[in-house]
Structure 1
Amino acid sequence: MMKDIFQMYNIGHFINQPHNPTEFEILRFDEMAEPNVDDFHKHSFYEILWTEKGKSRQIIDYNEYEVKPNSLFFISPNQVHHFEEWKPLSGGTILFTEDFYLLNRSNKDTLFELSFLDNLYSNPCIEFTKKSFADVSNLIYQIEAEQKRKDRNTSIIQAYLQILLAQVQRHIDTTNPTIVSKKYLIQFKQFKQVLEDHFWENKTANYYAEQLHITQHHLNLICKAITNNTATDIIRARSILEAKRLLTFTDKSIAEIAFELNFSDGSYFAKTFKSFTNHTPQDFRSKMSEKYRTR
């Protein structure tokens, strides 16, 4: 297994109680202490930032987003996240684990059916009209009120959270005319999960299709429907993403990175990297180290 170069934080770290095993928190920006976490980090949980007023900039794996008022911003486990400014914001953050959302049921499909979670191919920032956002805010306030009660009931919070995410999915389905089949979405996320465990082994699309008990042709159909890319493109993109992280945040040589990601040789790695990013690995390293490592 590849060693992760980023610190993986649980919810306790974000309330500056690293040993607290809490599976759910809701915090307002103006009430929360700045968490003692690295600028660039990974979460073991889901996070929803809700913004009523003000703007912030978020970075997820080299993609920069401006988060505006009347919006929700979703961060999923394993994504590399950097929160730029947050002091001038009005709103807050909801932090919850997969188990909390699923009520400890073993069937993950209900979580995978939510197109905006665990999906680098959809925009994590969802903007609402003022009226739609008021409906969303009301649900958030009910969650907040329940969490503050001395006799708070976890099942009530879980129910509100599930309603909130179902509302968001309905908003997306209403504003986006191309609705992807739930079955494809679930299979795509299953593929992404297996890919997360094996991307560094440089396996073929056929290997992943076999793991999912489907044909390679069917895996390609699923990937095309969700992302407009082939399965091979997605596999390669995951390797390149890891290469970007290693180039930016470690001092490993380009040859070491190529070896770690199971490329046959350094020149083939450099050629593949350039075809994806329009930069040589060395140029990318110089540019990104200057941008991100000096902070």
Structure 2
Amino acid sequence: MKDVFKHYHIGHFINQPTNPTEFEVLRFDKMVEPNVDDFHKHSFYEILWTEKGKSRQIIDYNEYEVKPNSLFFISPNQVHRFEEWKPLSGGTILFTEDFYLLNRTNKDALFELSFLDNLYANPCIEFTKKAFAEILNLIHQIEAEQNRKDKNPTIIQAYLHILLAQVQRHIDKQRETAVSKKYLIQFKQFKTVLEQHFAENKTAKFYADKLHITQHHLNLICKETTNNTATETLRARSILEAKRLLTFTSKTISEIAFELNFTDSSYFAKTFKAFTKQTPQDFKTKMSEKYRTR
């Protein structure tokens, strides 16, 4: 299935598209406007830190307010638009999965972080001034190392690990019951396979078999992680793609239903309305006016 959005790597965000860099840290007041489409996808993770000012981020039709003393996380393959960044005091940290996992034997380390690669988590995490001061101290150490002539990627990576571990500890304190790391890893493995096959409209059993677990266990993982069943998670992914195609392409509703392997356009329309409370045509009209004419 051809993606309708451009994918950008870190080099594009420093206006060096041929630069294969896997890590960068930039302050908003020194940042040059990147030459990227309004709506786009990243091949990397991004952490926005905000010390002062307010702005908005849009990720897959969800609008979020960016506030002071907060971090905002954007994961690969999310459709993203940054409304305003110039009025903000703070900056952005960009890193690839390979950079984070550099020299690490545990390749599931990123999956253990509940706030990354998670459609169901709020990507904006707010801190008290005291807690945010600790976060800023780590960011300043990352900046200082990145700006050295003899900078060491291993040292930068170590600071990044500590930063993300601090964020996870903050999140775990807010939750009444923590999701087990085993379930979190399995859910994100499920999501990885889902990204490869969602357009085929496969059943939950198909994914359970791919993961070598029972369908019952897959349901348990999804319920524990997102409070949705595996089937609801599958359908939500199909509807998200339908929303993207309705908004950003000129494809007809029948063409989209066929592309996402629904049995027919009427069943697609019924399913879409059950999820969104709107018909596909009403959604297409509303979102095209909102996002494609600006």
User: TM tier, shorter chain?
Assistant: over 0.9
Matched residue type, 2:153: T
2:4 alignment partner in structure 1: 5
Measured after TM superposition, the shift of residue 186 of structure 1 is 0.2
1:103 alignment partner in structure 2: 102
2:223 alignment partner in structure 1: 224
Distance 1:104 1:269, change over 3 A: farther
2:124 alignment partner in structure 1: 125
2:292 alignment partner in structure 1: 293
Matched residue type, 2:278: H
Matched residue type, 1:217: H
Give the alignment of 1:127-166 within 5 angstroms: 127-166=126-165
Measured after TM superposition, the shift of residue 104 of structure 1 is 5.0
Q: Which runs of 5+ in 1 are unaligned?
A: none
Alignment root-mean-square deviation, CA: 0.7
Alpha-carbon separation, structure 2, partners of 1:61 and 1:31: 28
1:261 alignment partner in structure 2: 260
1:178 aligns with 2:208: no
Structure 1 runs (4+) deviating above 2 angstroms are: 104-108
Measured after TM superposition, the shift of residue 178 of structure 1 is 1.7
**Contact 1:206–1:216 (Cα < 8 Å) also in 2:** yes
Alpha-carbon separation, structure 1, partners of 2:211 and 2:263: 26
> Residues 131-162 of structure 1, C-alpha deviation per residue, up to 9 Å, x if partnerless?
00000000000000000000101100000000
What SS is found at the alignment partner of 2:93? strand
What is the aligned-residue identity percentage? 83
1:168 alignment partner in structure 2: 167
Using the size of structure 1 for normalisation, the TM-score is: 0.99
What SS is found at the alignment partner of 1:78? coil
> Residues 222-259 of structure 1, C-alpha deviation per residue, up to 9 Å, x if partnerless?
10001110000000000000000000000000000000
Alpha-carbon separation, structure 1, partners of 2:282 and 2:106: 44
Alpha-carbon separation, structure 1, partners of 2:252 and 2:73: 34
Give the alignment of 1:65-80 within 5 angstroms: 65-80=64-79
Alpha-carbon separation, structure 2, partners of 1:176 and 1:126: 13
What SS is found at the alignment partner of 1:232? helix
Distance 1:25 1:264, change over 3 A: same
Matched residue type, 1:116: F
Measured after TM superposition, the shift of residue 176 of structure 1 is 1.5
What SS is found at the alignment partner of 1:111? coil
1:94 alignment partner in structure 2: 93
Matched residue type, 1:202: N
1:280 aligns with 2:279: yes
Alpha-carbon separation, structure 2, partners of 1:240 and 1:153: 44
Measured after TM superposition, the shift of residue 87 of structure 1 is 1.0
Alpha-carbon separation, structure 1, partners of 2:291 and 2:64: 16
**Contact 1:99–1:105 (Cα < 8 Å) also in 2:** no
Matched residue type, 1:172: I
Number of aligned residues: 294
Q: Which runs of 5+ in 2 are unaligned?
A: none
What SS is found at the alignment partner of 1:245? helix
Alpha-carbon separation, structure 2, partners of 1:219 and 1:57: 35
Matched residue type, 2:124: C
